[in-house]
Structure 1
Amino acid sequence: MPFDSGVSYRPGARFGGNAIREASRLLRPYNPAQDASPFALAQVADAGDIAANPFNINEAVETVEAAADDLLNTGARLMTLGGDHTIALPLLRSVAKKHGPVALLHFDAHLDTWDTYFGAEYTHGTPFRRAVEEGILDTSALSHVGTRGPLYGKQDLTDDEKMGFGIVTSADVMRRGVDEIADQLRQRIGDRPLYISIDIDVLDPAHAPGTGTPEAGGLTSRELLEILRGLSSCHLVSADLVEVAPAYDHAEITSVAASHTAYELTTIMSRQIAAAKADKEAK
């Protein structure tokens, strides 16, 4: 999804999808961490780029939603590569049409629940506020993971809590460990349909320098991957991975981390698709 007109700091996420594609050349068919071959378990296809208008955010949001509708109507699950985090809103709108309000796990250094950003309603800092207002999220099962860094004020946290979000900070992950965090998240999600949205800046800049709004003190790539693997039993219906800005990357560090993250999410969805097919055939 080559769109980054909703960014507030460093641009360049429109080139993130292609950078992740290039870095994915190193991936192999078998995922030993999940003991699965995702490309054999389900048909995995690159649906190409969505041509969104970079000069009109409202129109771009509508374009992304329409494209997601078309893909989901085929029975597919989406692993969308951004692009900036603005695209999460139209993707959630589309997913909710099929599944109703969904649980959300939001991996990010930032809350992205502000009412407006520089006076604008649709930006990479506002998608989840809009999603809550539109009733497309299950407010009993919303979590931020990896949150850290300065805020505009304590009211940011108060507003976020009122919307139903729980927060797992990057410091929480360090202190409590990935297994305990994954267990907490699984319990909060339950058997609800789950959408995972990952801003690559959830990782520490040492692990992901190529992003638009880096914050010190983030997760390691190992911690992120292990938490995701711990969520493999959750009903993951679609996911996005956003904010990779390759112009600020070094030696493809960020793109490689992003490609492996997308690989883990794809493996989870492929395993679940295969299991659902087997159950259906058994009946």
Structure 2
Amino acid sequence: MADLIKYSPEDPCVVTRFTGIRTFMKLPFIKGDLTGADFAIIGIPCDGGTTFRSGAAFGPSAIREMSIMLRSGNPNLDVDIFQYLSGIDYGDANINPCNLQVSHEEIERTFDEVVRQNVLPIGLGGDHSITLPQLRAIARKHGPVALVQFDAHLDTYDSENGSSLTHGTMFRRAVEEGIIDSKRSIQVGIRGVFNMETIRESEALGFTVITAKELHEQGIEWTAQKILDTVGDHKTHFTFDIDFFDPAYAPGTGTIEVGGFTSYEGIKLTRSIRQLNFVSFDVVEVLPAFDPTQITAYLAGSVVQEFLSILAWKRKTGNA
């Protein structure tokens, strides 16, 4: 299998980790023709949709910076990622910091370049509004997808501060545009809501909602089974807002909410839904200015590493 892998990281036993250009996990930077690649890392340095603390535009570079410490081996799933997967870093989408709509158009165009080559895209955010243009490109290829959302917030508001396009409204827009199948979609870890009616509104849109309280009290196994039952075999976009974690584990984010989850719990829940039919993934809302020890950026990279391990596990076990 290893002989068939075209793109993989530099060997850290040969090339010192902290040397060289900071691509994700020190993968090769490739643009254009992606023949031979299974996945592509795409930076999305956009925070024009934020409503509180800005700075998530610098999240992709922070995640890449700390990703040099991520390893290919994953004992959780007994798999070595790059024995089974070939991957590249595609660089960043070209963002217009003065115009969120134009930024979204550029994100959609960049993801379309990757998706139409049958390469699985992995987005590094950036505020959570960036998932909307990703979904547009993904739905163009795959049709309406299921959405698995790990998040402290619903992000299904109709508007915020008079704007219909923010990091708190994009999944309502996605339902309206018909690019996700809300009946197959689930929001997990919810605890930051303006009022209880907002949960009912999200459910009325078709989403299944699991609050943080339910996850804490019912446990990871119960939650994982609920996700698997809701989504089934539908093609799935997995979006991971770093504020799913408690701020004790991920302080570097724009809209913190207490009562979240440990790094272990988040990683375990991620691999517990590995049977899903994933076609895309993103991790969002890393804000380096509030992450002085870089633990949030490293945790975001670790979430990506666990997702890649899932893809490798699927190849290894014949579940791809």
TM-score (norm 1): 0.94
SS of corresponding position for 2:89: coil
Q: CA deviation at 1:158?
A: 2.1
**Once the two structures are superposed, what CA deviation does each residue of 1:7-29 show, in whole Å capped at 9, x if it has no partner?**
00001101111111111111111
Aligned match of 1:145: 188
Q: Which runs of 5+ in 1 are unaligned?
A: none
Moved over 3 A (4+): 270-276
Q: CA deviation at 1:273?
A: 5.6
Aligned match of 1:108: 151
TM-score (norm 2): 0.83
Aligned match of 2:28: none
Q: CA deviation at 1:250?
A: 3.2
**Once the two structures are superposed, what CA deviation does each residue of 1:221-251 show, in whole Å capped at 9, x if it has no partner?**
1111011101111111101100000110131
Aligned match of 2:78: 35
Aligned match of 2:141: 98
SS of corresponding position for 2:187: strand
Assess if the C-alpha contact under 8 Å between 1:79 and 1:266 holds in 2.
no
Q: CA deviation at 1:176?
A: 1.5
Aligned residues: 277
Q: CA deviation at 1:274?
A: 6.5
Letter in 1 for 2:238: I
* Residue of structure 2 aligned with 1:85, choices 115, 128, 148: 128
Letter in 2 for 1:198: F
The correspondence of residues 1-283 of structure 1 with structure 2, limited to 5 A, is 1-149=44-192, 151-272=193-314
Q: Which runs of 5+ in 2 are unaligned?
A: 1-43
Q: CA deviation at 1:193?
A: 0.5
- Higher deviation after alignment, 119-128 or 207-216: 119-128
**Cα distance in 2 for residues equivalent to 1:225 and 1:108:** 14
Letter in 1 for 2:216: M
Assess if the C-alpha contact under 8 Å between 2:238 and 2:280 holds in 1.
yes
- Higher deviation after alignment, 184-193 or 164-173: 164-173
Q: CA deviation at 1:119?
A: 1.2
Assess if the C-alpha contact under 8 Å between 1:77 and 1:269 holds in 2.
no
**Cα distance in 2 for residues equivalent to 1:269 and 1:242:** 20
**Cα distance in 2 for residues equivalent to 1:259 and 1:240:** 11
**Cα distance in 1 for residues equivalent to 2:82 and 2:207:** 34
**Once the two structures are superposed, what CA deviation does each residue of 1:10-68 show, in whole Å capped at 9, x if it has no partner?**
01101111111111111111111112222221211111111111101111111100110
Question: Alignment RMSD, CA only?
Answer: 1.5
**Cα distance in 1 for residues equivalent to 2:312 and 2:135:** 20
**Cα distance in 2 for residues equivalent to 1:97 and 1:87:** 16
SS of corresponding position for 2:274: coil
Assess if the C-alpha contact under 8 Å between 1:173 and 1:181 holds in 2.
yes
Q: CA deviation at 1:202?
A: 0.7
Instruction: Identify which of structures 1 and 2 has the higher relative contact order when contacts are C-alpha pairs closer than 8 Å and 6+ apart.
Output: 1
**Cα distance in 2 for residues equivalent to 1:153 and 1:102:** 28
Between structures 1 and 2, the one with greater helix share: 1
Q: CA deviation at 1:265?
A: 1.2
**Cα distance in 2 for residues equivalent to 1:198 and 1:252:** 18
